[in-house]
Structure 1
Amino acid sequence: MKQTWRWFGPSDLVSIDDICQAGAHGVVSALHHVPSGAVWTPAEIAKRHSEIAVMQDGASSGLTWDVVESLPVSEAIKRQVGPWKDHIEVYKQSLRNLADSGIRIVCYNFMPVLDWTRTHLNWRLSNGATCMRFDLADFVAFDLFILKREGASDDYPVGIVADAQHRFTAMSGDRRAELERTVAFGLPGSVENLSLDDLRALLATYADIDADLLRRNLVAFLEEVVPVAREVGIRMCCHPDDPPFALLGLPRIMSTEADYALIMQAIDLPENGITLCSGSLGVHPENDLPGMMKRLGDRVHFIHLRNTKRESDGLPCSFHEAEHLDGDTDMVALIEQVLLEEARRKAAGRADWNIPMRPDHGHDILDDLNKQGQPGYPAIGRLKGLAELRGVIKALSHRLEATE
């Protein structure tokens, strides 16, 4: 696997120098300042390449921009309203511009309104580290008593509603304000947070869109853009829903292996691929991550290695970000399947045999606790995760080579 690192641009508190010292070989980035629905111009793309290529003292970093995460799909495209056809043409042009610059992998998602959703960005663990967490009672309290979404109580079992009522009653004003900010945090790297009125307005636009319609809109989007990706040599890969269950009355369509199988069959081209995020998918108890890699691996173009721990049975559920080698996903078994897939690709002569991965998320530890960096993306916590994953990769690679 090619070991990469997510970087949010020059404002990221984790610098290119830090990435070099962590031992990553490539960078995952995006033009977060470009609004959704606007073209990524050659000039802006070239600027990001140049920012990645140098260290603070002007020396070459040796790093390359290997994966775009994410080229955003506008809400107009997801709902097929307003200028959605124009936005698709803009998306195609951005793909062409990225390909001209040497980019070959583009990650995207099709989650309505919100990207990943948490209730805590700095939940304290027993060892003093902090992590991100989704607490179901807190989230339902937000939905019912802060957002006050119409009909929200019908979406949850009576027991959870009662728990949420008790939780909300016991919350301080500061915690209520924190919960509001956290749920409406928006996209990773985004400079904009959503107000409650913004969120209510966006939710209203999905009132008549169920999972079947949203899935048809995804297929229609892919029918337009995947042929362009194929033409210019880009592999597209869809990130799963996070968390992998419905929230705020919004549909979820990329949460399980069956969801991915449907989309892969609908647009049966190798350029229509998968971002295998073991953390997001791992929250769903039906997802067997090593098995998914074994069965769908030929369409996996990008991998997020992180782990999550469910705190209750069934769905929806509470969960938190676990250490990379802990949690509900057997990370060793998953990495073994990735290495076997790479070996198959290499034997078949595929140019894309070396699949990029990044250590996704991480606990805030040591100096991370004082830096107030991008939530989920601390320097030392990710470095610890990458080191652990690198050790597993090295040990399994040694064993697999010995059996050849």
Structure 2
Amino acid sequence: MKMIFRWYGENNDSVLLNDIKQIPGTDGAAWALHDKHPGVVWNQSEIQEAVDWISSHGLNAEVVESVNVHEDIKLGLPSREEYIENYKQTIRNLASAGVKVICYNFMPVFDWIRTDLHKKLEDGSTALFYENNKIQHITPEELIKKITENPEFTMPGWEPERLEHIQALIDQYNDITEEDLWKHLQYFLEKIIPVCEEYDVRMAIHPDDPPWSVFGLPRIISTREDLQRLAGLTASRYNGITLCSGALGAHPENNIPAMIHEFKDRIHFAHVRNVRRYDNGDFIETSHRAADGSVDIVKVIQAYHEIGYEGYIRPDHGRHLWGENCRPGYGLYDRALGIMYMLGIWDTLEKGGYKQ
């Protein structure tokens, strides 16, 4: 497997490329042009500049996370044609700079939801938290204010300019069913996958986070059955998955190791993190250690080892440790610890250890 680390850019991340390079076994940075609005073409010169800067620090830039899908594509509006053509050109431009995988999502309006960015854990660290009851009794506007007030770093998926008219955006989905969203996703994939095949760039859809409907919006990438249906939208293996153990792991019926085995040919990118689930629907993100959460990360890594996974993998959200001032969920320390935990499991398996 190829260990990488998500990086938000020189001016928008507390983590430096030199920091990433010092994490043993870490060879790349998952990056993006975060100032680009959904639907616009990523220019070749801007892409190459970012790739060259990452490469100059001894890291590969082969995974982009994310090229966001314009809302009109998800809604199936006539204007989607222009935005799909722009997306296709961005794929071509990224391929010219050596990008191999594009992570994206098809979640309406929000691409992740939490109710607390700094919920305190028993050890004094803080982490991202989802409180189910609060979601049932809060308006989207109230949630946005809570999440985005006084941010020290911009947070993709919660850009103020994109969410300025949030209720109007949500209202556009009043007549959009899950079946409609599936049809719109299929249309999008049928248009772009031939370009991906021609330029050897794999698409890797990220699951819904959390993996259920929020604020009445349709969500369609939440379960094993959803991933089966996704794979059936087009036979091409360029239509693939970012298998996130945390997003899918928030749903108690999702068996992550079994999914890894079943969808091994479609997993182009892997996010590994742990969550502790509660019976009332709440969940909090924890350390990567299996004993600290509800997802057995040892079995997750073991499953990747068993399928001979050679794709890209990264630690996902981490706790905030030791007074670190960082983007919520994306500090250096806990994600670096997560890498060492994952590689420790992998190295043990490579040496024939960890017998059940």
| Unmatched runs of 5 consecutive residues or more in structure 2 | none
CA contact (8 A) 1:298 1:341 kept: no
**Other-structure match for 1:345:** none
| Unmatched runs of 5 consecutive residues or more in structure 1 | 55-60, 149-175, 343-352
* 1:384 aligned to which of 337, 342, 346: 337
**Deviation (angstroms), 1:192:** 2.4
Specify whether residues 94 and 20 from structure 1 end up closer, same or farther in structure 2 by C-alpha distance, changes over 3 A only. Answer: same
Partner Cα distance (1:265, 1:187) in 2: 36
**Other-structure match for 2:302:** 336
**Other-structure match for 1:171:** none
**Deviation (angstroms), 1:188:** 4.0
CA contact (8 A) 1:142 1:179 kept: no
**Other-structure match for 2:133:** 137
* 2:197 aligned to which of 225, 230, 234: 230
**Other-structure match for 1:349:** none
* 1:44 aligned to which of 36, 39, 46: 46
1:4 alignment partner, SS class: strand
> Could you say which structure has the higher helix fraction?
1
Deviations 1:197-232 (A, max 9, x none): 611111011111011100110011001111110111
**Other-structure match for 2:176:** 209
Percent identity at matched positions? 37
* 1:109 aligned to which of 88, 99, 105: 105
CA contact (8 A) 2:63 2:103 kept: yes
**Deviation (angstroms), 1:338:** 0.7
Specify whether residues 223 and 77 from structure 1 end up closer, same or farther in structure 2 by C-alpha distance, changes over 3 A only. Answer: same
**Other-structure match for 1:13:** 14
CA contact (8 A) 1:110 1:218 kept: yes
2:264 alignment partner, SS class: helix
Residue 366 (1) aligns with residue 319 (2): no
**Other-structure match for 1:159:** none
Specify whether residues 139 and 186 from structure 1 end up closer, same or farther in structure 2 by C-alpha distance, changes over 3 A only. Answer: farther
CA contact (8 A) 1:88 1:221 kept: yes
Specify whether residues 322 and 252 from structure 1 end up closer, same or farther in structure 2 by C-alpha distance, changes over 3 A only. Answer: same
Q: How many residues align?
A: 350
Partner Cα distance (2:81, 2:162) in 1: 28
Deviations 1:11-35 (A, max 9, x none): 1110001111123211101111111
Specify whether residues 9 and 147 from structure 1 end up closer, same or farther in structure 2 by C-alpha distance, changes over 3 A only. Answer: closer
> Normalising to structure 2: TM-score of the pair?
0.93
| Pairwise CA RMSD | 2.3
Letter in 2 for 1:327: G
CA contact (8 A) 2:110 2:157 kept: no
Letter in 1 for 2:305: L
Partner Cα distance (2:66, 2:129) in 1: 23
**Other-structure match for 1:165:** none
Partner Cα distance (2:237, 2:121) in 1: 41
1:121 alignment partner, SS class: strand
**Other-structure match for 1:355:** 311
Partner Cα distance (1:72, 1:230) in 2: 20
Partner Cα distance (2:268, 2:241) in 1: 6
Letter in 1 for 2:310: N
**Other-structure match for 1:4:** 4
Partner Cα distance (2:246, 2:152) in 1: 19
* 1:311 aligned to which of 259, 278, 283: 278
**Other-structure match for 1:153:** none
Partner Cα distance (1:90, 1:109) in 2: 17
**Other-structure match for 2:77:** 81
CA contact (8 A) 2:287 2:319 kept: yes
Deviations 1:134-181 (A, max 9, x none): 0112222213xx749xxxxxxxxxxxxxxxxxxxxxxxxxxx896363
Q: Runs of 4+ in structure 1 displaced over 2 angstroms? A: 176-182, 184-197
**Other-structure match for 1:320:** 284
**Other-structure match for 2:233:** 266
Letter in 1 for 2:30: V
Partner Cα distance (1:190, 1:303) in 2: 20
> Normalising to structure 1: TM-score of the pair?
0.82
Letter in 1 for 2:36: V
CA contact (8 A) 1:10 1:51 kept: no
Partner Cα distance (2:147, 2:137) in 1: 10
Partner Cα distance (1:357, 1:137) in 2: 33
* 1:255 aligned to which of 222, 226, 232: 222
Partner Cα distance (2:305, 2:71) in 1: 36
Partner Cα distance (1:187, 1:78) in 2: 24
